[in-house]
Amino acid sequence: MAGPPGHGGAGRDPRADRRTGCPAGPARCYRRNVRGLAAHAEPLAEGAELPPFGLCHSEFYPTSVHVGAGGWRLLDLARAFTGPGLLDLASWPGTVAPPDPDAVAALIGEYVKAGGPPEAGAPRGGLPAERWALGWHRVWVSDWYAEQVERGWAGA
């Protein structure tokens, strides 16, 4: 896919939401697309339980870590879950910035050098670890953003 659904192209439904190309609106379309991945999820999830696996913050970036005289504190665990830790490494460069596989590959490499399990760099779901992590992290982010819109917490 060259870009998000509905960006450009002839034959576009003029009633469609201007950002998603979906008459149902962005939240419903994003959720539908996330659910549509179910047909492909099993092979793409291969390796999800490889180390690191455990508590996943899910929105892990510099603003989530506060360091002070009393030590460090990890904040904002509202969407934490048990899952593949590579998703946290994929989120560190930022959730709204374009995906950066090279930056995530570098983070995984530094993580392993610092004592993380060597399996962290192993391919998963037929993809390099960094691309796998970025893909699944973006699925998670899309679902979370759609939920916020559905609950009225954010505008579409």
- Token couple for 72: 């460090």
Task: Quote the DSSP letter at residue 7.
Answer: S
One-letter amino acid identity for 21?
Answer: G
**Alpha helices, H only, the chain:** 26-36, 38-44, 86-91, 101-113, 129-150
**Is the Cα dihedral 66, 49, 148, 77 positive or negative?**
negative
Length of the chain, in residues: 156
Q: What pLDDT, in 10s, does the model give residues 11-46? A: 434 444 444 556 666 666 766 776 777 778 888 889
Whether 6 shows a pLDDT value over 50: the answer reads no
